[in-house]
Amino acid sequence: MLLKFAKWLVGILLLPVCVVASLVFWGLLQAVAQAHGGATVLPVPALALVGGFGLWMVIFALFPSPARSYILAHELTHALWGLMMGASISKISVHDDHGAVVLSKTNFLITLAPYFFPLYTVLVIGLYYLLWLFYPVERYDLVWLGLIGFTWSFHLTFTVTALLQRQSDIRDQGRLFSYTVIYLANIIGICAWVVLVSSASPADVLRLTERATYRTCGWCVHLVNVIEPRVRVVKASVMHALNL
């Protein structure tokens, strides 16, 4: 019970961090647009990434979804993060509508990893650098970026679909804690890709983070100032009722 309360409290504390990350993401998009004179045409690498992303969205909308492929990635991600955390794997099972992995131990990272770690995207990136050791793959960078966008879109669509259902992973870790961790990890990943495929730089991220932090702190202070008098009124009413 104490652990659940602690995770709930962490989830509350992460909400402003999620706001900061969202403001940074929006600021990056604005910075990229301004760098191109407000033009609606994206840089070619970004177009490749967005093209792959959009292609999967079309496939997902028009054709039967390959749920088994997602379930496989989901369980393998549990297993991979379990191995990285020193756990041993007893069993992995994958079926058309569900899967399971049995580990010797677990924690919140192992449990939530499938919702923020795009396994197929990581495999595509790993394959790129493996081939890079033996073959000049740079000439096909746009193809690789398209594949990254495609697999990343696969991850996000199935992640959202899974989160709309009742997931034991989310229930075990607490909904507020799980959602804030998952959202924050994914939005940070999106910001990283914006920097990699556009004119935005890490310096822009730092500048936007500082600005967003000050802005969010101001909102939090304002919220506290609005809520505090109401809390006092409620407290006084309760104390008066108890005295009666």
∠ CA 57-27-61, rounded to 5°: 10
Structure token pair of residue 161: 């679909």
Structural domain ending residue among the three candidates 165, 196, 220 = 165
* pLDDT number for residue 194: 83
Model confidence at 42, pLDDT cuts 50, 70, 90, reads low
* pLDDT number for residue 40: 54
Q: Which amino acid is at 161?
A: T
Give how far Cα 9 sits from Cα of 76, 167, 175, Å. 30, 21, 12
Do 214 and 119 share a structural domain? Answer: no
- CA-to-CA distance for 167 and 164, rounded, in angstroms? 8
| Gap between the terminal Cα atoms of the chain | 33
Structural domain ending residue among the three candidates 142, 165, 188 = 165
Confidence check: pLDDT of 98 > 70: yes
* pLDDT number for residue 211: 93
Candidate from 6-20, 35-49, 184-198 with smallest mean pLDDT: 35-49
Do 48 and 37 share a structural domain? Answer: no
Do 68 and 144 share a structural domain? Answer: yes
Contacts (Cβ under 8 Å, ≥6 apart) of 6: none
Do 117 and 221 share a structural domain? Answer: no
pLDDT digits (tens, 9 = 90+) for 119-175: 999 999 999 889 888 888 888 888 988 999 999 999 999 999 988 888 888 888 889
* pLDDT number for residue 120: 94
Model confidence at 41, pLDDT cuts 50, 70, 90, reads low
pTM of the complete model: 0.83
Model confidence at 184, pLDDT cuts 50, 70, 90, reads very high
Structural domains of the chain, count: 2
Structural domain ending residue among the three candidates 145, 165, 185 = 165
What is the domain range of residue 69? 43-165
Nearest to 181 by CA among 12, 29, 24: 12
Do 193 and 105 share a structural domain? Answer: no
- CA-to-CA distance for 88 and 84, rounded, in angstroms? 10
